[in-house]
Amino acid sequence: MKHNDSCGNYALIGNPVGHSLSPRIHEQFAKQLDIPYSYTLLEPALADFESCARDFFEKGGRGLNVTVPFKQQAVAFADDPSAAAAAAQSANTLRLDKSGRIAACTTDGPGLLAALVRRRGWDLAEASILVLGAGGAAASVLGALLEHGRGPIFIANRNRDRAVQLCARFADRDDCGRLHDCQLSEQELTAVGAECVINATSAGLAGSLPPAARAGLQSARFACDLAYGRQARPFLDLAGECKVENLSDGLGMLIEQAALACAFWHQAMPDTEVLYQMLGEEN
């Protein structure tokens, strides 16, 4: 693909995307960095990701944010996926390089840690962590969790085979044997006794909870839902009932991953504090 040295266009591609806060976030980053880049929304049909992304870049686009359900396809689409994106089989940021090749990375995991550890001050270095769910959301943050801490990480899923497969995918990055699979059941989650519980399931989309979530939260000091706003409320309300002291939804991760995506495109890191003030931090 031909690279254009102008500021160019940037966009979020997903289905659906109409609810996204990304345009507001990147508008603020563009002003802050004095980089006049435009940012739009692309919502192709589920079968049309590759053709839509290719058309975007061929018409002068410079970078894409990628959201559900296209993060896995984004890795296959890229010419040069990062090691983290390849391991996660998930990419949320694409960039057209000067060579005309498409580079891909995932900023979800580093964004989550920036929100929880750097900004909120959560001490997760030695904490045992329970991740509820073994789908794409869990995969996108698992590599960063492995790099950051030293405590055990448990992947719990209703279909245990998926948890086993996710642990196996990251086995070569798990030098200390920190990864463990478990069933999403009251008995197993009670036995885990995790200090930090991360909800990476989509249960909140239906206003519901992952199975056995209450059992998983009984020993926790930290609880985070990767969703934000209304979708995170069932899990965070339950965590509050279980007396978990430190709560967070996924808004911080959204803001911080967007800043890292901006840096991937422009080699300049924006200040995220203005976004927290603008969008409001609930937890």
Please list the active-site residues: 71
Tokens 């007396």 appear where?
A: 243
Contact predicate 39/27, CB 8 Å: yes
